[in-house]
Amino acid sequence: MGNRTLEPFLSAALSAYEMCTPEKPPSCFAVLVGELVEGKALIHGVEFGRNARATEPAATEEYRSTIVPLFGPAYDNQHRGFWCDSTDLLRIQRKADAQGLDILGSVHLHPDWHRIGPPAERGLTISEAPTPMDAYMIGSTSWPVNMICYVERPNQDVHYTLAAWGPAAEAGAPAVRPIPIQFLINAEATPPPSEQAIRSIFADMVHAWSRADAEAFARGFAEDADFTSVRSNHFKGSHEIAAAHSRLFTSVYAGTRLTATVQQVSNPRPDIAIAQVKFGVVDVDGRPARGLGGNPGNTMHAQAVLESRHGHWQIISFMNMVPLHQ
């Protein structure tokens, strides 16, 4: 695969890692899309889907009846584990089919939970190697490529290590087998697909929010962008957007963190994209923070219009909305 293929996933994984709490392990998962050529898996890109671990009946039943009895009560935590939403998986498969590609596997995050998790859960050393639960899932899906991205912070810097695993090659063999990863050096000049680049913009916004860096938060907006807040305030251009968020980071949203789930990206024209994004704001303990306008859940839905300018995607219109039930 190209050495930029996993960039959207790595950005999302870092955001999830920085936002986790002892009660809420970080979760980051993406589907690998590509093709099999002469026995080799060529990964062309990653696609994201929603986590239906706690909402899809088949998932909750699998965890209740099989996974928790096999692998322990830690998996009772609905924030632990990932189950790709079935409608999202179908969407990814159809998109891959239209491109002459296929779903080849997945990549997911392993944090250094033996360092940052609660004391009761530090007994199992986590790495880029599969856990017993991973081995079970690899065997269940039978996808040929299953990557694990181990993220750790042994000091002030964050490091990651990648490894790939496949299901057993034959009966009686170990449950999983290692697969070598090769990167195409000359692939760096090839830009990532538009959807991956767009998702990276929102992942960067999450990362900037965690640092209370208003300038970095506004970097994905065009200089002439229109931003409408949940209170119908209008800000024109990236400079006004940065100034507005700088005030928020030192007042109502001080010390909070942002979550962002890109639910859909469509392209009415090759140079225009519309993104539907679900946002949330949580406090340092991972609990929903009370935000503007008496919105206790602090869940927002945004519609963003993006334009590709000189090969770079930028948000040109952004409207934030609060769901009616809140």
Query: Kindly report the CA angle at 104 between 54 and 197, in degrees rounded to 5?
Result: 75
Same fold, 7-189 and 194-321: no
pLDDT(175) > 80:
no
Residue 296 pLDDT more than 60?
no
Q: What is the mean pLDDT of residues 215-241?
A: 95
Question: CB-based contacts of 247: which residues, under 8 Å, 6+ apart?
Answer: none
Could you report the per-residue pLDDT of 233-265, keeping only the tens digit for each?
999 999 999 999 999 999 988 988 888 888 888
Q: Domain 7-189 maps to which CATH number in 3.40.50.2300, 3.40.140.10, 3.30.565.10, 3.40.50.300? A: 3.40.140.10
Measured CA to CA in angstroms, residue 215 lies from 205, 211, 253 at distances of: 10, 11, 16
- The answer to whether 295 touches 268, Cβ cutoff 8 Å, is no
Pairing of strands 145-152, 102-111: parallel
Tell me which fold the domain 194-321 belongs to.
Nuclear Transport Factor 2; Chain: A, (3.10.450)
The mean pLDDT value for 136-155 works out to 90
Q: How confident is the model over 71-77, as a mean pLDDT?
A: 86
pLDDT at 166: 92
The per-residue pLDDT for 221 is 96
**Which two tokens mark 156?**
């002030």
Query: Given a cut of 70, is residue 298 above it in pLDDT?
Result: no
At 326 the pLDDT is 46
300 compared with 193, residue with greater pLDDT:
300
Residue 146 predicted with pLDDT over 60? yes
What are the boundaries of each domain within the chain?
Answer: 7-189, 194-321
Amino acid at 51: N
Q: Answer yes or no: are the C-beta atoms of 281 and 291 closer than 8 Å.
A: yes
- Share of residues in the chain with pLDDT > 70 (%): 90
Residue 159 to residue 307: CA distance in whole angstroms: 33
* Closest of 133, 117, 139, 23 to residue 82, by C-alpha: 133
- By the 8 A CB rule, do 146 and 164 touch? yes
Confidence (pTM): 0.60
Give the whole-angstrom CA distance, residue 164 versus residue 148.
Answer: 6
**Contact call for residues 70 and 175 (beta carbons, < 8 A):** no
Whether residue 26 has pLDDT greater than 90: no
- Name the amino acid, one letter, at 136: Y
What mean pLDDT is reported for the chain?
86
